[in-house]
Each structure stands twice: as C-alpha cells, then as structure tokens.
Amino acid sequence: MGVDIAVIDYGMGNLRSVSKALEHVAPAASVAVTADPDVILNAGRVVFPGVGAMGDCMHELRERGLIEVVRQAAASKPFLGICLGMQMLFEHSEEGDVAGLGILPGRVLRFPNEAMHDNAGSRLKVPHMGWNEVHQAVPHPMWGGIVDGARFYFVHSYYVEAGNPDMVSAFTLYPFPFTSAVASNNIFAVQFHPEKSQAAGLALLGNFVTWDGNISANQCDTFNTHCSL
C-alpha cells in the first residue's frame, strides 16, 4: 500500500519544512520524503518542491532518473508544485536557457530590470522576497477558506508566463501582475512557499490533502461558497 503523500526528493528544496507542514495539517496521513520512483508513483498525492537554479534542479532530476516519474505523477494524481517546482512544469526558462519538463505550456522569465520600480519611481529589488498578496483569478477547491488577497511568502527572481491564460489561478503584483498560481486538471502549482506562509499557507496545504484532483460544482460549493462555474 502506498503512502498518502510523497514529497519528491531530488536533492534540492525545503523538504523538511514542507513535510513538517503537511504532517501538521494532516496528522493521520503518511508523508514520505523520497526519491524512490515506486513510492512516488504509488502515493495518493505528490508534492514537487524546489529552490535554487532551474538548470541545477533539472540536472538533479535527470541524474536520479526522476524526469518521467514526475511527468507520470503529474498526469495521474493530485499534484502540487511549489516555487521552482512550479516553474519546472513549463517548457523553458530564461534562467540558464534550459528546457523544463514541458508538462504545461509556457515559459519562465526573469523580472525585467526596466520594469522594476513602484508608482513613486523607487527601485524594486530582485529577487522578489517577502510577503505579498495573492489575488485569486478563478475559483478552485485549493482556495477553500482562503480570502482573496491573502498574503503568502515569496522568494524568486523568475516568474511564469503561462501559455494558456485559462490555467492562471492567481496573480500577484510586483510591480506588474505575474502568475503566482496555476491550475490544470489534477495539477495545482504555486510560486510562493505555503510552508512558510503561516495560516494561509497551512490552509492551502490542508486543502491539498483532501482535494481529489478534480473540480466540480459540488466541490466548488463545499470549498468556496462564492464559487461559480
């Protein structure tokens, strides 16, 4: 029998903090930090975290034989990508000019220097680091119990430009709107770190451990009373 939640271990990522947060919101669930393909593919749901450089992460996935494992998991069960784990789902990144997993259409871009100033003309720092508001673009069970505009914790210099606007589940301003969450079938992925985002982050992780990877009118009513499909 497989574990309830597999956190993919490819040598990079906040694995301990992610697994501890999941254990906190789902104390009865079995959580495994693992690089074992069989454990990952037999898990009930999968979390794909990531920090660092895109090229390094893709290299480590390849060295551990996990490229196809991630693709299979993302095609078959509730799947949560976090930070670089979101970016790697896409086709290409400017960071190192490297190919991603190509699971979702789109590319990863660096915050452009010429745009990094606020309304008063003050320079904004890159990486984008700290708390910022997440504006929900479309209803989804993963947003259940989380107010629109809730603040989450970010650390990143690159952002996703989704190839399909319909998959954008949330956006954040820095200073322009960038995609901070995407949803596609059984995949939900976020640019921020829910494991570092206190109550809102724990609420999102709690939603993940009960989400079955689908969205329906009934689920919408259960998770979010203002949902309309």
Q: CA 35, 208, 182, 148 torsion: positive or negative? A: negative
83 as an active site residue: the answer is: yes
Residue 93 sits at φ, ψ, to 5 deg, of -130, 140
* 71/68 Cα distance (integer angstroms): 5
Catalytic-labelled residue, pool 57, 60, 83, 140: 83
The stretches of 8-53 forming alpha helices (DSSP H) are 15-25, 37-42
* 104/162 Cα distance (integer angstroms): 8
For residue 106, give Cα distances in angstroms to 82, 92, 115, 194: 17, 7, 21, 23
Catalytic-labelled residue, pool 128, 140, 156, 193: 193
Mention every residue, 6+ apart, whose C-beta is less than 8 A from residue 189: 48, 79, 80, 81, 82, 85, 86, 89, 181, 182, 183
195 as an active site residue: the answer is: yes
Catalytic-labelled residue, pool 60, 95, 195, 227: 195
Q: Name the residues annotated as catalytic.
A: 83, 193, 195
